[in-house]
Amino acid sequence: MLLEKVEEISGENLYACYQCGRCTAGCPMSGEMDLMPNQIILAIIRNDESVLNARTPWICAQCYQCGVRCPKNVDIAKIMEALREIKLRKNVNYIDVRKINRSYPQIAIVAAMRKFTG
């Protein structure tokens, strides 16, 4: 089941979330997302596998603002990582490394490769 997988990879207790939305309020990338961070948690708790096709985990920039602001200390960045990992571990890359613009700084390129390829 999805919830179990996410809990195992992230190490987080998703049931601690009471849907206050502070993660979403603090998220600088929420305007780009199709599901808000708190909605992602709810979908996972409901074992809604469609969340695996959401754009949200691929928009997350791992800035940790959500986890820092969470009153229940849920580290949402780890949950986003778990969703990415579930896809990437099936050998489905989110980006084609050959198409990366090589004039960008290394820290951007390596970060994208680590977050978007398996």
Residues binding another protein (CB under 8 A): 8-11, 28-29, 31-32, 58-59, 61-65, 67-68, 75, 77-78, 80-82, 85, 94-95, 100-112, 114-116
CB of residue 70 vs another protein: minimum separation in angstroms? 11
Please provide the DSSP assignment of 33-53 as one string: -SS-HHHHHHHHHTT-GGGGG
* Closer residue to another protein in complex, CB, 17/79: 79
- Give CA angle at 117 (16, 49), nearest 5°: 45
CB atoms within 10 A of CB 109: 15
CB of residue 42 vs another protein: minimum separation in angstroms? 20
